[in-house]
Structure 1
Amino acid sequence: MTSNKQFNLKRPHQLFGLGFGTGLAPVAPGTFGTFAALPFIYMTMHFPLWLQIVFAIVISVFGIWACGKTADDLGVHDHPAIVWDEVAGYYITMIGAALSWQTLLVGFLLFRFFDIAKPGPIKTLDKRMDGGVGIMADDVLAGIFSLICLQALIKAGLLPF
């Protein structure tokens, strides 16, 4: 899955598409890229719920452009270094959750599970969609699945609200 094209973090779409460089980690770039969501989570989780949702939509729509253009630059659809989709997915997971090490950890584990395992409709989206939409869609859905599971654990009293 290599490309003759070079990474260039000076290009704004690649800076974001590559998760501020976290996607260039030599192992597990998706996992490292997921961590790039943390500043956004910390900056916005005190916002009202509706504004968190709007922010999630904005970073997801922005990701369609950034990931698609980065993939075009690299000549590889969904290159492993493209991780803005993980940023959006983990952000979605954490919508409405109180920030604690427990919620961050469980949300992270849930998102990585759904992103890697790609059960049911997540796998279908991953296989059937191309371009920036295809790169983003499966991770957005993985984020929604993770959000539902995390909120269920919170509502059941198994995690702090």
Structure 2
Amino acid sequence: MIKLEVVTSFFYLGKFPKGPGTMGTLGAIPLVYILASFGSLVYLSITLVLSVIAIMASQKYEELFAEHDSKEIVIDEVVGFLVTMALLPMTWQSFVLAFVLFRVLDILKPFPINWIDQKINGGVGVVADDIVAGIIANVFLHLAYTHTTLLGVQFVGG
């Protein structure tokens, strides 16, 4: 039970009374930075593994407490932020823009995020909306990276 709580609340960040999702996302920042230092393959592999763990832990939490997407579950925000930052430059600008964009998408839940949040139950539903928010944020940030200097650097590839 305690292990489940540690995982789903991402080391109890989900227990914060105000803004647990924001706290979970902030808690993901050091993880992103550390994982990125090991290269893209490790980063993406661990993101995939954490996604599966998040789905399983969220499912178990829902079964135990009969509550869908409890505010205390923030492992989904961690996974969503990992997706948001995938393959981006590790600059302070990237972190700030990614944080803001991901939180806005996660809070406002535009389509298709809101549809996933409302229609998909269980652990998959808890995590999937954040993964989709992360994908949308990541696409926007990659466009910014390849067409502007908003992320502190600009892609100069072919």
TM above 0.5, yes or no, is: yes
* Unaligned ranges ≥5, structure 1: 1-7
Structure 1 equivalent of residue 115 of structure 2: 124
Summarize the alignment of residues 96-135 of structure 1 with structure 2, pairs less than 5 Å apart: 96-135=87-126
Measured after TM superposition, the shift of residue 57 of structure 1 is: 1.1
Measured after TM superposition, the shift of residue 100 of structure 1 is: 1.9
* Unaligned ranges ≥5, structure 2: 154-158
Measured after TM superposition, the shift of residue 58 of structure 1 is: 1.0
Which amino acid is the alignment partner of residue 33 of structure 1? G
Supply the RMSD in Å over aligned alpha carbons: 1.3
Q: For each residue in 1:21-75, what CA deviation from the matched residue of structure 2 results, as whole angstroms up to 9, or x when unmatched? A: 1111111111111112123202111233233222211111110011111222322
Structure 2 equivalent of residue 139 of structure 1: 130
- Percent of residue pairs bearing the same amino acid type: 36
Q: For each residue in 1:104-154, what CA deviation from the matched residue of structure 2 results, as whole angstroms up to 9, or x when unmatched? A: 010000100111111111111111111100100100100111111111111
Which amino acid is the alignment partner of residue 53 of structure 1? L
Contact 2:91-2:151 within 8 A present in 1 as well? no
What secondary structure sits across from 2:12 in the alignment? Answer: helix
What TM-score do you get using the length of structure 2 for normalisation?
0.90
Q: Give the paired residue count.
A: 152
Which amino acid is the alignment partner of residue 149 of structure 1? F
Alignment partners' CA distance in 2, 1:160 and 1:152: 13
Which amino acid is the alignment partner of residue 13 of structure 2? T
Contact 1:66-1:132 within 8 A present in 2 as well? yes
Q: 2:47 aligns with which of 41, 47, 56?
A: 56
Is 2:7 the partner of 1:16? yes
Alignment partners' CA distance in 1, 2:11 and 2:62: 15
Is 2:152 the partner of 1:160? yes
What TM-score do you get using the length of structure 1 for normalisation?
0.88
Structure 2 equivalent of residue 4 of structure 1: none
Structure 1 equivalent of residue 72 of structure 2: 81
Would you identify which runs of 4 or more consecutive aligned residues in structure 1 move more than 3 Å?
none
